[in-house]
Amino acid sequence: MIEVKNLYKSFEDKEVLKNINTTFCNGEVNLIIGQSGSGKTVLMKNIVGLLTPEKGQILYDGRDLCTLSKKERSLLRREMGMIFQSAALFDSMTVLDNVMFPLNMFSDKTWDERKKRALTCLERVDLHNVGQKSPGELSGGMQKRVAIARAIALEPKYLFCDEPNSGLDPKTSIIIDELIAGITHEDKITTIVNTHDMNSVMGIGENITFICEGRAEWTGSNKEILSADNKYLEEFIFASDILRHLKQSYDKDNGKAEK
Amino acid sequence: MVSIKESLQGLGEYVLLIGKAISVPDRWKMFWKQYVTEMFQLGYNSIGIVLIISFFIGAVICLQIKLNIQSAWMPTMVTGYTTREIMLLEFSSSIMCLILAGKVGSNIASELGTMRITQQIDALEIMGVNSANFLILPKVLGLMTIMPILVTFSVFAGIIGAYATTLLGTTSIAELNEGFRYEFNQWFFWCGIVKAVVYAFLITTISSYKGYSVEGGSVEVGKASTSAVVTSSIYILFSDIFLTNMLT
Ligand SMILES: Nc1ncnc2c1ncn2[C@@H]1O[C@H](COP(=O)(O)OP(=O)(O)OP(=O)(O)O)[C@@H](O)[C@H]1O
Ligand SMILES: [Mg+2]
């Protein structure tokens, strides 16, 4: 479980995050949603410690990231896996070496065992026979899957994904979403996903935090989100006509016809 | 123009980054692997350019002195003697490192800069790897290790270049032999090595700093790469004056 308490962050004179309070649950897919520029990436970077907040606490099962010593922080980091918006694979290494990298760095297993673990992770994300290729030879969707494999190689307790399906077609996005959700449930990971894709929200959002202009405006699940009573959230969800029509017919079915 | 405050801030960031880079590696096995790779990348791959440039500079210095400086009242060994001292004292250490700053510096800055903007450095940090240590230390130690070898090669290539001019008939091998052996001071050779090792440190750390601290996109990577070459060249020239003064 990760708790964010009274978090503030600004750049120079621009306040980006204003008093964020939210909880991300264990074994669930936690989503952070919001418009482009609302501060999702900044929030996630604060949570993983790539940025330092001005004020506030980030508790990893009770351990406050901001007050940990360097050593403790680097130990905590080994329990984290992260998938970046751009996949961020090491382009000087082959795909297999990429997945083996965290193992080579931190595991005391033999080379054979490490290789086996890496191959298992690649199989888990449905990649076969790509180990010897370099990341540049893979498609965007495959790169994302390699990034997932690398992130889960050390069996993390916390998994972070910054827009895992940006730049992917709807079908591939769903495959990636389902992979993330599947891994989360199987291994009881605390997963946080940044997204503005409504397909992901409806598909895998078990615990959703909606960010608007740096404030956490709403939290709830995908079952509650369509009937949520929040002006900003409604504007965000029903930005497209198709969804607006869906909502109208949904409301009609439930006897709440408009007008 | 860069203000004093900015340059002081830059210096502070540089010192902090190098401090972070110079620490005990997380995993020695990975360090050795990187170290050997970098020695190969930065050093071994530069041997060609070092040999070619040193050969021609050696030849041209020898020719210039023979044709334009040497006159009847000077002993004949002057040409060989001067060529040797120029190679040992300045060319094979300082000038060669200026050339290497162009090759190695831009290489390091653009590699690290690209890793920064494609979030590969963030990915290392998230895993709990000390990215500065993992990426920078092997480059610094790698080039510092291989630099004495490059200097030695450069000196020899220069001498061979000088001998090659005998084919043109301006000097004779006997004359050059006499000059090359005249009052040879071994310390000059070691001076060159010490200087070059210092320059290797400057080139790798400055370029790493420039690349590692890139913010933005490909334009910034390009700028960082240029700035790495310019800045390390300037620092090489400055420290050349101090080192020359100190060592002799
Ligand atoms: N390093 C930085 N320096 C200054 N301002 C920044 C920095 N990083 C982000 N910001 C600002 O913070 C705000 C939020 O940015 P952020 O990247 O978190 O948006 P986002 O919600 O992730 O958007 P997207 O969905 O497009 O990725 C933006 O207005 C941006 O200009
Ligand atoms: Mg973002």
Among the partner residues B29, B118, B126, nearest to A82 by beta-carbon distance: B126
Asked if A90's CB is within 8 angstroms of B123's CB, the reply is yes
Query: Number of residue pairs across A and B with CB atoms under 8 Å?
Result: 55
Query: For residue range B101-117, what is the model confidence (pLDDT) as tens digits?
Result: 999 999 999 999 999 99
Structure tokens belonging to residue A41 = 């990436």
The model's confidence at residue A259, banded by pLDDT at 50, 70 and 90, is: very low
- Per the structure, the count of domains in chain B is 1
CA of B10 to the centre of ligand 2 (A): 28
Rounded CA-CA distance A106/A70 in Å is: 16
**Pocket lining: A38 vs ligand 1, CB cutoff 6 Å:** yes
- Print the domain residue range for A259: 1-79+158-168+190-259
Number of domains in chain A: 1
Which tens digits make up the pLDDT trace of A212-248? Answer: 988 998 999 988 888 888 888 888 888 777 777 877 7
- Structure tokens that stand for A110 in this block: 């033999």
Nearest to A203, CA basis, from A238, A240, A174, A232: A174
| Contact assignment for A91 to B120 by CB distance below 8 Å | yes
pLDDT digits 0-9 by tens, B118-157: 999 999 999 989 999 999 999 999 999 999 999 999 999 9
pLDDT digits (tens, 9 = 90+) for A32-63: 999 888 999 999 999 999 999 999 999 999 99
Mean pLDDT, range B85-110, rounded to an integer: 94
Of B119, B123, B128, Cβ closest to residue A74 = B128
Q: Is there a domain that residue A56 lies in?
A: yes
Decide if B50 contacts B96 (C-beta within 8 A): yes
Backbone angles phi, psi at A257, to 5 degrees: -50, 140
CA gap A87, A140 in Å, rounded: 8
pLDDT bin (cut points 50, 70, 90) of residue B38 is very high
By residue range, what is the domain housing residue B220? 4-247
Q: Nearest CA to B101 among B173, B204, B18? A: B204
CA neighbor of A79 nearest in space, from A169, A188, A193, A225: A188
CA distance A74 to chain B (A): 5
B122 CB neighbours in chain A (<8 A) are 50, 82, 84, 88
**In terms of pLDDT, which residue wins out, B171 or A137?**
A137
Question: Which ligand 1 atom is nearest residue A45's CA?
Answer: 18
Assign 3-class secondary structure to chain B: CCCHHHHHHHHHHHHHHHHHHCCCCCCHHHHHHHHHHHHHHHHHHHHHHHHHHHHHHHHHHHHHHHHHHCCCCCCCCHHHHHHHHHHHHHHHHHHHHHHHHHHHHHHHHHHHHHHHHCCHHHHHHHCCCCHHHHHHHHHHHHHHHHHHHHHHHHHHHHHHHHHHHHHHCCCCHHHHHHHHHCCCCHHHHHHHHHHHHHHHHHHHHHHHHHHHCCCCCHHHHHHHHHHHHHHHHHHHHHHHHHHHHHHC
Please check whether residue B225 is in contact with residue B102, taking contact to mean a CB–CB distance below 8 angstroms.
no
pLDDT the model gives residue A256: 58
pLDDT band at B1 (very low <50, low <70, confident <90, very high): low
Asked if A94 and A134 count as a contact pair (C-beta separation under 8 A), the reply is yes
A103 falls within a domain: no
Are residues B119 and A84, on separate chains, in Cβ contact within 8 Å?
Answer: yes
Residue A84, class by beta-carbon neighbours within 10 Å (0-12 exposed, 13-18 middle, 19+ buried)?
Answer: buried
Chain B residues in contact with A106 (beta carbon < 8 A): 26-27, 127-128
- Is B125 within 8 Å of A77 when comparing Cβ atoms? yes
Alpha carbon distance B42, B186 (integer Å): 28
- Residue A258 pLDDT more than 70? no
What end-to-end distance do the CA atoms of chain B give, in Å? 36
Tens-digit pLDDT profile for residues A112-127: 999 999 999 999 998 9
Which DSSP state fits A34? -
Q: Tell me, what's the ipTM?
A: 0.87
H helix count then E strand count, chain A: 9, 10
- The lowest-confidence range among A184-198, B100-114, B195-209 is A184-198
Mean pLDDT across B27-56: 94
Q: A36: Cβ below 6 Å to ligand 1?
A: yes
The mean per-residue pLDDT over the stretch A175-196 comes to: 92
**Mean pLDDT over residues B87-93, rounded?**
92
Q: Residue A178 corresponds to which tokens in the numbers above?
A: 């389902």
3-state DSSP assignment of residue A163: coil
DSSP string, A200-219: HHHHH-SEEEEEETTEEEEE
Instruction: Evaluate whether B119 touches B7 at the Cβ level (below 8 Å).
Output: no
Residues of B in contact with A93 (CB under 8 A): none
Which residue has a Cα nearest atom 18 of ligand 1?
A39
What pLDDT, on the 0 to 100 scale, is given for residue A247?
A: 75
Interface of B with A in 141-200 (CB under 8 A): none
- Tokens, residue B76: 């004949």
pLDDT digits (tens, 9 = 90+) for A97-117: 999 999 999 989 999 999 999
In a domain, A203, yes or no: yes
Residue A102 within any structural domain of the chain: no
- Report the CATH number that the domain containing residue A24 is assigned in CATH: 3.40.50.300
